[in-house]
Amino acid sequence: MLNRATIDRVVAAALEEDAPWGDVTSAYLIVETAIARADLVARESGVFSGGEVFEAAFRLTDPRIDVELVVEDSAWFEPGDVLATVQGPARGVLTAERVGLNFTQRMSGVATLTGRYVAEVAHTGARIADTRKTTPGLRAFERHAVVNGGGHNHRYSLSDAVMAKDNHLAILSRKGVSITAALQGAIARLPHTTHVEVEVDRLDQIEAVLAAGVGTIMLDNFSLDDLRAGVAQVAGRATVEASGGVSLETVRAIAETGVDVISVGALTHSARALDLGLDVRIDLA
């Protein structure tokens, strides 16, 4: 999902946004021959993510800048740990600094939050999965960070799987169309490799959905008792996903109901950027 072409496209746009006509401060205050050496240092504990993205910010600014990643994506770190080192023309290092930090702070924040959710359900068989509630343009970056934190990716986009949600079902219901028949008709026309998931918000909707032969059924905003009842009712006929009302305080109990997957929008829409800093030393010789 996160390849070099995607990284370079997004990072180049961020650099263009941050210095559309160059870095005026560095150009006028820093001599052209100055060399900078810098350490990417953790100010708090967390899970590292975005090493290649961090490197790209400097490489695309000035290919003479060398970035060495000291830790790999998915590695846990503690305050004071050096995560990467940077060396090269000082003007370029200072120009790329903020963009590089913005990406890796954001991605490491997502990875760290994901890791906390994963730890809460480690004693169960439930997977923690992300959602499409991502920052526009940064989905590949944030989805990569979720995996770094030990989570799993849901469908990447609307093009990747059929996922009938409450609004889809409401439209069918208003038209008087049987949900089972509508789903069966769609499945008959779909390629056999396309996964089909359906969201329900009541126990009495489950049988009509399962009758169509779907692969996953999402129990949305169910109480813990209803989640347990839903898992028992599905009885292995489909993958059971829980969503809605999921937080670090509730996820353990949700996992213990026996669901297979717990989707958590907060992994990407509510993650706090971690405090990472670039400690720079400049050689004016």
Residue 247: count other Cβ atoms within 10 Å of its Cβ.
Answer: 12
Q: Is residue 32 among the annotated active site residues?
A: no
**Collapsed DSSP state (helix, strand, coil) of residue 186:** helix
Out of 116, 133, 155, 228, which one is annotated catalytic? 133
Q: How many C-alpha atoms does 261 have within 13 Å on its Cβ side?
A: 23
Out of 39, 220, 226, 256, which one is annotated catalytic? 220
Check: CB of residue 128 under 8 Å from CB of residue 264.
yes
Residue 269: count other Cβ atoms within 10 Å of its Cβ.
Answer: 15
Q: Is residue 9 among the annotated active site residues?
A: no
Taking each helix axis as running N to C, give the angle between helix 4-18 and helix 51-61, from 0 to 180 degrees, rounded to the nearest 10: 60
Q: Is residue 165 among the annotated active site residues?
A: yes
Secondary structure E strands in 90-244: 127-129, 162-164, 196-200, 216-220, 239-243
Out of 37, 98, 228, 237, which one is annotated catalytic? 98
Q: Smallest Cα–Cα separation from 142: which of 115, 99, 166, 107? A: 107
Out of 37, 116, 132, 165, which one is annotated catalytic? 165
Q: Is residue 133 among the annotated active site residues?
A: yes
Q: Is residue 175 among the annotated active site residues?
A: no
The residues near 171 (Cβ < 8 Å, ≥ 6 apart) are: none
Check: CB of residue 38 under 8 Å from CB of residue 30.
no
Q: Smallest Cα–Cα separation from 177: which of 187, 169, 167, 166? A: 169
b vs e for 205-215, b when ≥16 Cβ sit within 10 Å of the residue's Cβ? bbebbbebebe
> What is the β-pairing status of strands 127-129 and 261-263?
parallel
Out of 23, 120, 142, 199, which one is annotated catalytic? 199
- Any idea which residues carry the catalytic annotation? 98, 133, 165, 199, 220
